[in-house]
Amino acid sequence: MTSADVARESGVSRSTVSFVLNDAPNQTISPATREKVLAAAERLGYTPNGPAQALSRGRGSTVLLCLPDFPASATVDELVTEMDRVLAAHDLLLVTHRAGPDRQPALALAAAVAPVAVAGLLPFDGDQVAAFRARGARAVLPGPADPPPPRDDAGRTVGVAQAGHLAGRGHVRIGYVHPADSRLVSMSERRLAGVDQTALSLGLAGVSVRRMPADGDFTPVLRGWLAEDAPTAVAAFNDEVAMAVLQAAWASDVVVPVDLAVIGADDIPAARYTCPALTTIRSSGKPFGAMLAHWVLQRLGTGGAARPTADEPPVWTPDIVIRASS
Amino acid sequence: MTSADVARESGVSRSTVSFVLNDAPNQTISPATREKVLAAAERLGYTPNGPAQALSRGRGSTVLLCLPDFPASATVDELVTEMDRVLAAHDLLLVTHRAGPDRQPALALAAAVAPVAVAGLLPFDGDQVAAFRARGARAVLPGPADPPPPRDDAGRTVGVAQAGHLAGRGHVRIGYVHPADSRLVSMSERRLAGVDQTALSLGLAGVSVRRMPADGDFTPVLRGWLAEDAPTAVAAFNDEVAMAVLQAAWASDVVVPVDLAVIGADDIPAARYTCPALTTIRSSGKPFGAMLAHWVLQRLGTGGAARPTADEPPVWTPDIVIRASS
DNA sequence: CTGAAAGCGCTTACAG
DNA sequence: CTGAAAGCGCTTACAG
């Protein structure tokens, strides 16, 4: 099933078929011909071959998004969905690749699909950019020279929101708990920075920091912590860490939120079901997805395209979900 | 940067370049020429254009996996990672597509990348199969005539494991809780079938069933349930539902596991941090990913390929993770 | 208003 | 052992 079949079926040339199917500008096709071609294509169930189109146009229609090896999360799903949505409005299709120990490297995928652009959540270094370019990408971002994506800022913002809430509840000795998973440390550092900065600007005590032990049992750490720095409220890196704190408190007869307030981050589905229900920070992946898409479009020069998109501006505003734990 | 550049640089024809780069069988290239070409390709940083290769070979090198619109989960990640891994051993690259309200339909992606095969977790109907085929896929599975993937069985198996554990603890009145999310009902029905069947075969009472209310508060339901059917143990559809049950018990002064035993499913990261820690069923996505990959390969006739893969046979064995809730 | 022709980057019989 | 040529399915100047 090729365009030649459609041409034959409708009694015109392949050029004409291509013209009508692509609504070629500067090309005036008679309504009759147009109809014939459309009907034939319909009847034959013809669909143009994407790779062939890309080859001949010298420009693919896919964008590759490289995701880090983070645990599955609704936030990333939202990001991807939104990026897909705004890209689709510009006839660009999103292909995602999640890094991972056993996963094929993104470069192989890039070679196979020849995306017109590749985007990532973490900045690419010079070699990576060059490699993607060698595989046909016209835009690779963020590159080493680019401003980092607003993710850093987003991380900080989460910490700011956590500390702000806790301080608002009257707490002055705030603690922070890092996750055990080393893949998450850089993100956790950013969140901590937000907590730290807020505590500082509010004139609170310096924030005391602990890390989740690898075995997942925070109980001994919590006991020592309470004895030493005696935080009255803890901001956890994320909801899982917050749950570990909740569990340690439960095991130690420390009553939340009376003896200890805790706040998580991410608002995972489980957060509403903890005992007590977890107060947390919810940050949608949507604005970030929109931002990445717009960045790609701009870099591709499709920014001021004919078709205007009524997308909300990509602003990053974490929401606080107040439940019972603080 | 094309193969013509490499040919020019190394002073041979494009055919020769193609032969050495592809290790063409039935083709004897002198070691000297071979070296020259390889060196030139290396020097130029040449990478073949995937779509062009696909076009000329008449066979793409990607496989499209269509994922349903389920919440993000580690199990699906494992499935994808494993499928990617075994496919990669056959020079096939995996491209995943998650369905969703705002996502581009999978057909558009299929048209753009022209995958040689498309696989799904849920069976495709006749129209879908035809549409994918029209976009170049040589294999689309599972189709309407195919045996359903062992997912159904997997679902049942989870229920069997849940009920088996509960019965082993001496419970005779077992309850089951469906999730509120309607996208999950068919999966939940399968798990319930496993519970039901096991209870039946063990001569226990029929299992009493409830569903999570949309507002997420299981407390009123639990109270009524305890008054009516008085189950002593409940198997929840998944860990989130189990947590809701735990929370309802906590709110009702029902002590778990003494007054009520609960078991979840999936072993999400949060499961170890509930109070008490949740007993659950863990089923890796790995065997299912391997199975799908093998199915694709077999359908593609690559099954008995030269390169043997030392993959474990795709067997589906859920593990029970015993913690404190039952 | 429409068609013949070249070209996108590759592979692969077919000659030599 | 190596090269000239055709072809994969499309698009797009260029003629008419």
CA distance B326 to B164: 12
Q: How close A262 comes to chain B (CA, Å)? A: 14
Please count the residue pairs, one from chain A and one from chain B, whose beta carbons lie less than 8 angstroms apart: 173
A251 token code pair: 């095991």
Q: 188-247 in B: which are within 8 Å (CB) of A?
A: 216, 239-240, 243-244, 246-247
pLDDT tens for residues B260-298?
A: 999 999 999 999 999 999 999 998 999 899 999 999 999
Identify the residue whose tokens are 């993104």. Answer: A106
> Domain B57-148+287-314 - what CATH class?
alpha beta
Name the E strands within A29-137.
62-67, 93-98, 117-120
Cβ separation A47–B104 shorter than 8 A: no
CA distance A30 to A287: 44
CA distance A96 to A86: 15
Four-way CATH pick for A58-147+287-314: 3.30.830.10, 2.60.120.700, 3.40.50.300, 3.40.50.2300? 3.40.50.2300
Contacts of B73 in chain A (CB under 8 A): 72
A189 token code pair: 């550092």
pLDDT tens for residues A163-199?
A: 999 999 999 999 999 999 998 999 999 999 999 999 9
- At A211 the pLDDT is 98
Q: Which residue has the higher pLDDT, A43 or B23?
A: A43
CA distance A64 to A86: 14
Contact (Cβ atoms closer than 8 angstroms) between residue A273 and residue B243: yes
pLDDT tens for residues A69-109?
A: 888 899 999 999 999 999 999 999 999 999 988 888 999 99
Mean predicted confidence (pLDDT) in A214-220: 97
CA distance B92 to B117: 10
Identify the residue whose tokens are 């939120």. Answer: A257
Q: Which residue is nearest to nucleotide C7 (CA to C1')?
A: A56
Contact (Cβ atoms closer than 8 angstroms) between residue B248 and residue B222: yes
Identify the residue whose tokens are 């499961």. Answer: B271
A95: helix, coil or strand? strand
Contact (Cβ atoms closer than 8 angstroms) between residue B175 and residue B231: yes
Q: Which of A141-155, A244-258, B46-60, B66-80 has the lowest mean pLDDT?
A: A141-155
Q: Which CATH superfamily is domain A3-48 in?
A: lambda repressor-like DNA-binding domains (1.10.260.40)
CA distance A40 to A46: 8
| Domain ranges within chain A, ordered by starting residue | 3-48, 58-147+287-314, 151-282
- At B271 the pLDDT is 98
Q: 12-51 in A: which are within 8 Å (CB) of B?
A: 45-51
CA distance B323 to B22: 54
Nearest CB neighbour to A49, from listed B74, B114, B216 = B114
CA distance A73 to A88: 23
- At B306 the pLDDT is 43
Q: Report chain D positions within 7 A of protein CB atoms.
A: 1-5, 7-13
pLDDT band, residue B150 (cuts 50/70/90): low
pLDDT tens for residues B214-224?
A: 999 999 999 99
Contact (Cβ atoms closer than 8 angstroms) between residue B191 and residue B250: no
Q: Which of A19-33, B28-42, B54-68, B236-250 has the lowest mean pLDDT?
A: A19-33
Identify the residue whose tokens are 């407390």. Answer: B219
Contact (Cβ atoms closer than 8 angstroms) between residue B184 and residue B166: no
Mean predicted confidence (pLDDT) in B50-60: 93
> Domain A151-282 - what CATH class?
alpha beta
Whole-number average pLDDT of chain A = 91
Mean predicted confidence (pLDDT) in B57-73: 93
pLDDT band, residue A307 (cuts 50/70/90): very low
Substitution target from B85, B113, B254 for chain A, most A beta carbons within 10 A: B113
Contacts of A84 in chain B (CB under 8 A): 102-104
Mean predicted confidence (pLDDT) in A256-268: 97
Cβ separation A62–B113 shorter than 8 A: yes
The answer to whether the A58-147+287-314 and A151-282 domains have the same CATH topology is yes
Identify the residue whose tokens are 């879908």. Answer: B128
Q: Is B135 on the interface with A (CB under 8 A)?
A: yes
Mean predicted confidence (pLDDT) in B143-149: 83
Q: Which of B32, B34, B39, B43 is nearest to B1 (CA)?
A: B43
Please name the amino acid found at residue B37: V
Strand C nearby residues, CB < 7 A: A 11-16, 19, 27-30, 32-33, 52, 55-56, 58; B 2-4, 14-15, 17-19, 21-22, 24, 47-49, 52-53, 55-57
